[in-house]
Structure 1
Amino acid sequence: MTVFLHPEAFKKIMQVKQPKDISNFHIVGINYKKTDAAIRGLFAINQDQYQQLLLAAQAAGMHDLFVLSTCNRTEIYGFAPDPADLMRLLCGAANGNLQVFNSLAYVKSGEGAVRHLYQVGTGLDSQILGDYEIIGQIKGAAKFAKANGCVGTFLERLVNSVLQVSKLIKNETGLSSGTVSVAFAAVRLLESKVADIQQKNIVLLGVGKIGRNTCKNMMEYLGVRNITLINRTTAVAEDFAGKHGLRYAPYEQLDDSLRAADVILVATNASQPTILRKHMESTAGKLIVDLSIPFNVAADVRELPHVEVVNVDDLSKIQDETLARRLNEVPKAISIIEEHMEEFLYWYKMRKHAVVLKAVKEKLTEIHAREIKEQKNGAHYNLEDIEEVSSRIIQKMINLMAGKVRKETEKGDQYIAMISEIFETGANQD
C-alpha cells in the first residue's frame, strides 16, 4: 500500500510552538558577595515595583520571568534574547542606576542559570549557609509572576523541581540545622547582647513574614513575651498579637512606643526609613536590629552615641557553632541537586522532541486524509482498508522516530532538527 504525497504537502505545514531554547534562559542579579546592604537596597523590588516590572515585561514581549528580591539579593530569572534586556527591565523598576548594577552584577545563562536557581533555593548560595527561608521567597515570587501572566511551562516546572529538591535536602541532610536564617540570627544576636531580655521592652515594627518568624523565634528560644507589635495595617498586628498573647499598638502610637522600648526590631521593608533620628533623640540607650532591605533605619541614627544599630550584613557575621557541620553536608546537597537537575533537563529535551514529533504526526495525518479524499471515487479502493492501513503506517513512522531519539540521547537534538527540516515543520520559539 502506498501513501501518495502531494508535491505541495510539505510547504503548508502548520506553525508549531516549540519550547523556548534554554540558551535564552538567563539570571541577572546582585547579592551579598559583591555588594553591601546599602547598595542592595537601591535595587530592592517591592510589590508595587514588581507589578510594574511585569507589566513592562509583557509590553516588551517577555512573558516568562520572575524577580527574587530579598535582604541578600535581587535577581531576575527569565527568557530574553539577551541578558541585558532583563537587566534593563529590573533597573527600570528599581531605584538604582543601570551602570552601577551592570558593574556589580553576575550573569548566568542556560544550564548555568538553572543550576544557580537550584543552589539559591537550597540555601547553598545564601549569606547564611542553608538558609531555609529563601525557598518560601522563591515560591512567593514565582506565584506572583504567574498570577500576572509571566510564568510559562519551563519556569513553572523548574521552580517546582527546586521546591522539591529544597525539601529533600532539608529532610535528608543537615544543611539547614543551626542558625540558618536572618530571623534566627537576630535571636542569636539578642541572646548574646541583651542581658535579662525577658525584662526588656521589645518593639517589633513590621509584621510581615520576616517579622513574624523573628517574633516566633524570640518567644520559642528566648522565652520573651514582652513584645509590642506595630504594623501600618493595625489589623495585621492585632490578629497576630491575639493568636500569640502579645501586645500591639496602632501605628499612630509609633513615637511613644519607640521611646519606651529597650530593643527595636524593624522588618517593614518600606521604600523609605521608618525609624528616624528624631525618634531616638532624648531617649535611653537602645539596640535596633534592622532586618529590612532597603534599610528602614535612617543612616544618621547610627551617629547617636546611646543607640546601637545592627543590619542584615552584621547578622551574617555572628559565629555559629553548627557551621562546620553544615559545611560537611554540602557535597550531599550538591549530589541531590545534580540528580534532579539532570531529570529536569531530560524533561526539557524530551518536551522539545515531543512537540516536533506531534507536528510531524499531524502533518502526516493531514496528508493521509487528503489522499484518501482524492482517491475516494476510485472503484478499486476499499475506503476502510485505506484508512486502517494508512493510519498504521503513520503511527509506525512516528514510533520509529521517537524510539531512535530516545535511544540516541546525545544525538537526539540533531535528529529532531533534521526531522523538522525534512518536514519543514516551521517550528518556532514561543
Structure 2
Amino acid sequence: MQVSHSRDIANFYVVGINYKKTDAAIRGLFAINPSQYEQLLSHGKSAQLNDLFVLSTCNRTEVYGFADHAHDFMALLCKETNGDLEQFKQIAYSKSGEDAIRHLYQVGTGLDSQILGDYEIVGQIRNAAKFAKQHQSLGGFLERLVNSVVQVSKLIKNETSLSSGTVSVAFAAVRLLENRVPGIKDKKIVLLGVGKIGRNTAKNMVDYLGTSNITLVNRTAAAAEEFASAHGLQHAPIEELDPVLQAADVVLVATNSPQPTVLARHFENTSPKFVIDLSIPFNVEEKVRDLDHVELVNVDELSKVQDETLQMRQHEVPKAISMIDEHMQEFLYWYRMRKHAVVLKAVKDKLTEIHSKEIQQQKNSAGFQLEDIEEVSSRIIQKMINLMAGKVRRDTEKSDQYIALINDIFEAGVNQE
C-alpha cells in the first residue's frame, strides 16, 4: 500500500513522554504491551502509517516514524492505551527531521535515560524495531537508523566510561538492596516475572550480592524453571504465589501486566517486607504503600539511586556526543546519497529511453547502415541538449543556476563571468 505522506526527512517524527515531565503512574497509562503494539501496527497500516516503531519502557513511551503530522502518531498511540489524547498532548514532546534522529541516538546511547548511561535501552530499541519489522511496519530508513544507533551505542560502551557503575534499573535494584536491607544474603527473595528486566535483576543479585536464595515465579512456569535451573535458583508455580509472597523478606516485581499482580491482601498479617516494583504500569497495588510493615519502592524512586561513578560518567558525555555526531553525519550522508541515487536512476532511464527510441527509428529507416551510427549518436546527444535547453527556457528565473550546475557537472570549464 502506498502511503500518502512523503518519506522526506522532514516527515520523520518522534512523539512521546518520558520521566522528565511525567511520573511512573502517568507513564503507565500510555505504556504499550506486545498485544497492544500489534494492534497499533495493524491500525497504523489502515491509516497509511506503515513505517514506524514504538519504544515503551519503564521510563518512556515513544513512537518513531513517517507521518504527515505528529498528531497522527499521538492519536494512534492513545487509541491503544489507557491514556487520554488531550492529556497526552499536554505532556508529550514532538520532534521532526534531524532533531528526531538525534533524539533516537541520545536515547539509544543512554544520554537521555533516567539513569545516565543506561545500557539496557539500546536492546529495547532493537527489539521494538524487530517487532515492527516482523509485522511489515519498518522501512529501510528506520532499519538503517536503528542499526546506526546500535553501532554507536556499542562503540560508546566499549570506548568510554559512560556505562560504568549503576546504569540500569535492574542494577539499581541490586544497589538499593545492598544499601537498605542488612544481611541481604540471608534473606528470602522472591522475583515475580522472568522477562528481560527480571532475568537481568536475578543475574545481578547472584553476581553482586552473592545470593542464590531467590525463588522465581512466572505465569509461564517453564520459563521460570529453565532460568532457575541454569542459575542455581528456586522456582514456584503461579498457583503458589500467595504462600511464597507471605514467606518472603524481599519481593521484586518485574511482570508486564496491565493490572497489579501483587495486592495488599498478599501481605496481610505477614512479617515485614521490602518490595520493589520494576514494572510500568505499576504491578504492585498502591494500597501496599499504606501497610506499616511493608516498604514499597517504584521505578522512579529506584532511578534516584546513584553511585560513586556518576561524576565520571558525566565527564564522558562530551565524548559520547562527539561519537554520536560522527555516526549521525554518516547516516545523513547515506540518506542524501539514497535520494540522489533515485534521481540518477531516473536520469539514466530517461537517457536509455532516448537512445533506444533513436536507434529503433533509424533501424526502421530505409537503407540504414552500421556506418550511420555516428550520425545517430550525434542526434541522441542533440536531443539531450534540447531537453536541458528547454528546461532553462521555461524556467527563466533559475536559468543561470541551471546553466552553472550543468557547467559544473560536465566540467565544461566555461568561465561565465
- If the length of structure 2 is used for normalisation, what is the TM-score? 0.89
Any idea what the Cα deviations from partners look like across 1:206-251, whole Å, max 9, x if unmatched?
0000000000000000001000000000000000001111110000
* Residues 19, 352 of structure 1: 8 Å contact kept: no
Aligned residue among 345, 352, 356 for 2:332:
345
The letter for the 1-side match of 2:352 is T
**3-state SS of 1:376 partner:** helix
Aligned residue among 129, 147, 172 for 2:134:
147
Counterpart for residue 243 of structure 2:
256
Any idea what the Cα deviations from partners look like across 1:309-337, whole Å, max 9, x if unmatched?
00000011113111000000000000000
**3-state SS of 2:364 partner:** coil
Distance in 1 of aligned mates of 2:66 and 2:196: 29
Counterpart for residue 38 of structure 2:
51
- The 5 A counterparts of 1:323-334 are 323-334=310-321
Distance in 2 of aligned mates of 1:18 and 1:295: 37
Distance in 2 of aligned mates of 1:59 and 1:75: 20
Distance in 2 of aligned mates of 1:250 and 1:384: 88
* Residues 29, 82 of structure 2: 8 Å contact kept: yes
* Residues 67, 74 of structure 1: 8 Å contact kept: yes
The letter for the 2-side match of 1:185 is A
Any idea what the Cα deviations from partners look like across 1:149-184, whole Å, max 9, x if unmatched?
011010010000000000000011110001000000
Counterpart for residue 247 of structure 1:
234
Quote how far apart the aligned CAs of 1:87 are.
0.6
Counterpart for residue 22 of structure 2:
35
Aligned residue among 209, 213, 218 for 1:231:
218
Distance in 2 of aligned mates of 1:350 and 1:69: 32
Q: Over aligned residue pairs, what C-alpha RMSD do you find? A: 2.4
Counterpart for residue 172 of structure 1:
159
Segments ≥4 residues shifted beyond 6 Å: none
Distance in 2 of aligned mates of 1:245 and 1:339: 44
Counterpart for residue 367 of structure 1:
354
Distance in 1 of aligned mates of 2:7 and 2:79: 25
Distance in 2 of aligned mates of 1:349 and 1:111: 13
Counterpart for residue 284 of structure 2:
297
Quote how far apart the aligned CAs of 1:383 are.
4.9
Any idea what the Cα deviations from partners look like across 1:377-425, whole Å, max 9, x if unmatched?
335544597499859x78xx8xxx9xxxxxxxxxxxx98xx99xxxxxx
Counterpart for residue 117 of structure 1:
104
Counterpart for residue 135 of structure 1:
122
Quote how far apart the aligned CAs of 1:370 are.
1.6
The letter for the 2-side match of 1:27 is V
The letter for the 2-side match of 1:291 is L
Distance in 2 of aligned mates of 1:216 and 1:66: 29
Pairs aligned (count): 386
Stretch moving more, 178-187 or 311-320: 311-320
Question: In structure 2, do the counterparts of structure 1 residues 19 and 172 end up closer, same or farther at CA, with 3 Å as the change threshold?
Answer: farther
The letter for the 2-side match of 1:331 is P
Quote how far apart the aligned CAs of 1:372 are.
1.3
Distance in 1 of aligned mates of 2:200 and 2:229: 16
Question: In structure 2, do the counterparts of structure 1 residues 385 and 215 end up closer, same or farther at CA, with 3 Å as the change threshold?
Answer: farther
Any idea what the Cα deviations from partners look like across 1:53-80, whole Å, max 9, x if unmatched?
0000001111110000000000000000
**3-state SS of 2:363 partner:** coil
- The 5 A counterparts of 1:45-124 are 45-124=32-111
Distance in 2 of aligned mates of 1:246 and 1:42: 34
Question: In structure 2, do the counterparts of structure 1 residues 385 and 64 end up closer, same or farther at CA, with 3 Å as the change threshold?
Answer: farther
Distance in 1 of aligned mates of 2:172 and 2:192: 17
Quote how far apart the aligned CAs of 1:19 are.
7.9
Distance in 1 of aligned mates of 2:186 and 2:371: 90
Counterpart for residue 194 of structure 1:
181
* Residues 376, 383 of structure 1: 8 Å contact kept: no
Question: In structure 2, do the counterparts of structure 1 residues 113 and 380 end up closer, same or farther at CA, with 3 Å as the change threshold?
Answer: same
Counterpart for residue 345 of structure 2:
358
**3-state SS of 2:296 partner:** strand
> Which structure has more RCO (C-alpha within 8 Å, separation ≥ 6)?
1
* Residues 246, 266 of structure 2: 8 Å contact kept: yes
Question: In structure 2, do the counterparts of structure 1 residues 341 and 388 end up closer, same or farther at CA, with 3 Å as the change threshold?
Answer: farther
Which residues of structure 1 form unaligned runs of 5+? 1-14, 402-413, 420-430
Question: In structure 2, do the counterparts of structure 1 residues 109 and 94 end up closer, same or farther at CA, with 3 Å as the change threshold?
Answer: same
**3-state SS of 1:123 partner:** coil
Distance in 2 of aligned mates of 1:112 and 1:387: 53
Which residues of structure 2 form unaligned runs of 5+? 389-400, 407-417
The letter for the 1-side match of 2:201 is T
Quote how far apart the aligned CAs of 1:201 are.
0.5
Question: In structure 2, do the counterparts of structure 1 residues 281 and 162 end up closer, same or farther at CA, with 3 Å as the change threshold?
Answer: same
* Residues 362, 368 of structure 2: 8 Å contact kept: yes
Any idea what the Cα deviations from partners look like across 1:79-117, whole Å, max 9, x if unmatched?
000010011011111110111111000000000000000
Q: Percent identity?
A: 71
- If the length of structure 1 is used for normalisation, what is the TM-score? 0.86
Counterpart for residue 145 of structure 2:
158
* Residues 241, 247 of structure 1: 8 Å contact kept: yes
Question: In structure 2, do the counterparts of structure 1 residues 18 and 253 end up closer, same or farther at CA, with 3 Å as the change threshold?
Answer: closer
